[in-house]
């Protein structure tokens, strides 16, 4: 072989390798965001439209998490099965992932990340041999598309229920607002809101609307880009007429007396560095993903000029959302608290591989017993409010936190709206709380 041929071959091989590598990289991103592009998951005996109950649950135990398995076995709930559907995230987020591919790495310590700008930090399939695989999945969740660049839950109904008799002990009505300061891919300004002198990552602003004793309570949380830094948080109490600075270290404290710890919000609301993360495997499981508009909804709790109604609840104690469940690809991740005094021994998160939301979590107490289990129902944005269509957001649409030891639950019924006009940057300031307060 002469030099010219050798050179051509080398070039060809290199080009092929580059193309192959590029293709492989492109596949990484597509595989991460479009797992059902080529095939639908299946399980023997499982079909859309069927109901899983006490009578037939045994054959589906491999695809149901242990908490829900026990609930079905006890007759507390029945699962309605729906067709697996693709919850495509916004293409800008996908492209941001593609743009950042290969540039993101974990820092030396848990809670440190380098090179992330936007998108999914680690779209590669987790490797069971990677001791930090669980941590990468946690970052994918933290920097997940979630509610997009901004959104609001207006309104948001929390109900505290006695699981033994279904009595609703308390109903709290909120407005929740979310805003990403950085990692913005869709709403202007992109990629970040400036100025941002404290390098904030995200803001959450909560207003309590009812009942009267907590009306006008407002909560503002500023989360920094630095995971090691605790949130800055402020509380406006209507009866005090002023803003109080909050100590945010007690993330295991129950929020407003509910069954949720502050740390539980959205699946996990703490620092990456507060947990030891371990990847337990990839599975196909029944997960709470559905089309909101196809459900039999709650006609009493909420009504408005949009005609929107919230998800209904039923089952034991009224603690279970009346939704459909579909078979989906899931990463099972365990999170064990670093702090030995944490009341939990661990949480098992069932992360949806496509959306990197955490629709199912099971929490265990220090004795290793099942303590609480958290379900966050995910609604497809194209079968929800008209304004959400095309947003590419997997809409958090219902939740249930069940304390099985106390036989008590807190349920959440959402009107999620992906609408930047509802969560403007000036709302996430301390002065806004004073201006809005009474």
Partner 1 sequence: MQTTRKGLRHWSVALLGGAGLALTPLAGAIASEETKITGFYENATYVRDHVGLSKFRNTLQLNAERKLGERGPFSNVSWNGVLRGSYDGVYDLNSSEYGRKAGGAVSLENTSGFGGSTSVPHGSGLKLPNSFDVANHPNRGMIVLGENLHKTSGGVAFGVPVRPCDKDKRGCINGYLDKDSNDLRFSEFNDRLDFIRELYVDFDYGFDNGHILSTRLGKQQVVWGRTDLFRVLDVINPVDFSRNNIYDELEDIRIPMWILKSDYRMGAGNVFDDLNLSFVWNFDRFRPHDIGQCGSPNVILDAGCFFRGMNTLWEYGGTVANFAGGEIATDFGPGQIGIRKAHMPAWSLSNTQFGLKLEGVYGDIGFSLNALTYRSQLPSLRGGIPAQNGFTGETGIWPYLIAFDIHFPRVNLLGGSLDYYSQGLDTVFRVEVAHTEGEEFANTMKSRLYSENSVTRYVIGADKNIFIPALNSRRAFLFSGQIFGQHIHQYESEKRELGRVGIPDWKANWIGTLLVKGWWMRDRLSPQLLAAHDFRAGATTVAPSIEWLVSDNLRLIGGANLKVGSGANKFDDCRTCNPWDPFTAAFPGHPEGHSLGLGGYEPLGRFRAGPLGMAKGQDELQLTLRYSF
DSSP three-state, residue 81? strand
Q: What is the dihedral of CA 284, 290, 295, 298, to 10 degrees?
A: 100
Q: Which two tokens stand for residue 60?
A: 């589906």
Q: How many CB atoms lie within 10 A of CB 110?
A: 21
Peptide bond into 195 cis (omega under 30): yes
* Shortest distance, position 374 Cβ to partner 1, whole Å: 15
The Cα-based distances of 32 to 54, 80, 149, 267, 355 in angstroms read 34, 27, 20, 20, 9
Q: Pick one of 19, 37, 239, 294: the residue that binds partner 1 (CB under 8 A).
A: 239
* Shortest distance, position 61 Cβ to partner 1, whole Å: 31
Q: Which of residues 153-172 bind partner 1 (CB under 8 A)?
A: 160, 169-171
Q: Pick one of 31, 80, 85, 429: the residue that binds partner 1 (CB under 8 A).
A: 429
Q: Does 405 bind partner 1 (CB under 8 A)?
A: no
Q: Considering the complex, state which of residue 15 and residue 239 has its C-beta at the smaller distance from partner 1.
A: 239
Query: CA-based angle 139:140:144, to the nearest 5?
Result: 115
Q: Quick check: 223 and 203 in contact, CB under 8 A?
A: yes
Calpha distance 221→234 (Å, rounded): 7
Phi, psi (rounded to 5 degrees) for 7: -60, -45
* Shortest distance, position 237 Cβ to partner 1, whole Å: 9
Q: Pick one of 198, 282, 296, 299: the residue that binds partner 1 (CB under 8 A).
A: 198
Sign of CA dihedral 177, 183, 186, 192: positive
Q: Considering the complex, state which of residue 30 and residue 112 has its C-beta at the smaller distance from partner 1.
A: 112
Max Cα distance, the chain (Å) = 88
Which neighbouring-strand residues pair with 220? 205, 234
Calpha distance 352→330 (Å, rounded): 5
Q: Considering the complex, state which of residue 108 and residue 247 has its C-beta at the smaller distance from partner 1.
A: 247
DSSP three-state, residue 214? helix
* Shortest distance, position 420 Cβ to partner 1, whole Å: 15
Q: Pick one of 14, 66, 75, 343: the residue that binds partner 1 (CB under 8 A).
A: 343
The mark string for 365-394 relative to partner 1 (x by CB under 8 A, - otherwise) is: ------------------------------
The Cα-based distances of 346 to 251, 337, 364, 370 in angstroms read 15, 7, 6, 10
Q: Which of residues 271-310 bind partner 1 (CB under 8 A)?
A: 305
Q: Pick one of 43, 98, 132, 229: the residue that binds partner 1 (CB under 8 A).
A: 229
* Shortest distance, position 340 Cβ to partner 1, whole Å: 13
Q: Pick one of 23, 114, 196, 282: the residue that binds partner 1 (CB under 8 A).
A: 196
Of 212-220, 319-327, 384-392, 394-402, the segment contacting partner 1 by CB under 8 A is: 212-220
Q: Considering the complex, state which of residue 44 and residue 197 has its C-beta at the smaller distance from partner 1.
A: 197
Q: Which residues bind partner 1 (CB under 8 A)?
A: 160, 169-171, 195-198, 200, 210-213, 215, 222, 229-230, 232, 234, 238-250, 252-254, 256-258, 305, 341, 343, 408, 425-426, 429-432, 434-435, 438
């Amino acid at each position: 072989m002469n030099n010219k041929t050798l050179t051509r071959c080398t070039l060809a091989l290199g080009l092929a390798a580059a193309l192959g590598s590029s293709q492989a990289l492109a596949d990484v991103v597509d595989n991460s965001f479009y797992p059902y592009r080529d095939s639908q998951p299946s399980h023997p005996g499982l079909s859309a439209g069927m109901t899983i109950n006490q009578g037939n649950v045994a054959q589906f135990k491999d695809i149901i998490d242990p908490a829900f398995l026990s609930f079905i076995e006890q007759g507390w709930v029945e699962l309605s099965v729906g067709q697996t559907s693709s919850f495509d995230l916004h293409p800008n987020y996908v492209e941001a992932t593609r743009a950042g591919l290969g540039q993101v790495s974990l820092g030396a310590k848990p809670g440190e990340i380098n090179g992330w700008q936007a998108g999914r930090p680690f779209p590669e399939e987790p490797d069971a041999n990677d001791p930090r695989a669980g941590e990468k999945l946690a970052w994918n969740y933290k920097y997940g598309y979630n509610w997009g660049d901004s959104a609001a839950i207006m309104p948001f109904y929390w109900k505290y229920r006695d699981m033994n008799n279904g009595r609703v002990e308390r109903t709290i009505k909120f407005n929740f607002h979310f805003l990403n300061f950085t990692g913005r891919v869709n709403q202007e300004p992109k990629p970040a809101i400036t100025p941002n002198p404290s390098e904030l990552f995200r803001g959450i602003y909560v207003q309590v609307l009812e009942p009267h004793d907590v009306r006008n309570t407002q909560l503002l949380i500023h989360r920094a880009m630095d995971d090691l830094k605790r949130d800055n948080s402020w509380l406006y109490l209507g009866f005090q007429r002023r803003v109080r600075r909050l100590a945010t270290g007690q993330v295991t404290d129950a929020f407003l007396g509910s069954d949720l710890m502050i740390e539980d919000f959205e699946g996990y609301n703490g620092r990456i560095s507060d947990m030891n993360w371990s990847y337990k495997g990839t599975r196909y499981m029944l997960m709470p993903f559905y089309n909101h508009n196809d459900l039999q909804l709650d006609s009493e709790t909420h009504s408005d000029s949009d005609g929107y109604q919230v998800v209904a609840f039923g089952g034991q104690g009224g603690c279970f959302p009346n939704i459909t469940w579909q078979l989906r690809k899931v990463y099972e991740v365990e999170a064990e608290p670093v702090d030995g005094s944490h009341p939990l021994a661990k949480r098992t998160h069932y992360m949806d591989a496509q959306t990197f939301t955490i629709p199912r979590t099971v929490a265990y107490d220090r004795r290793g017993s099942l303590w609480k289990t958290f379900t966050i129902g995910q609604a497809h944005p194209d079968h929800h409010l008209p304004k959400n269509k095309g947003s590419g957001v997997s809409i958090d649409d219902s939740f249930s936190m069940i304390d099985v030891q106390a036989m008590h639950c807190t349920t959440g019924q959402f009107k999620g709206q992906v609408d930047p006009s509802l969560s403007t940057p000036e709302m996430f300031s301390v002065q806004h709380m004073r201006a809005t307060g009474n």
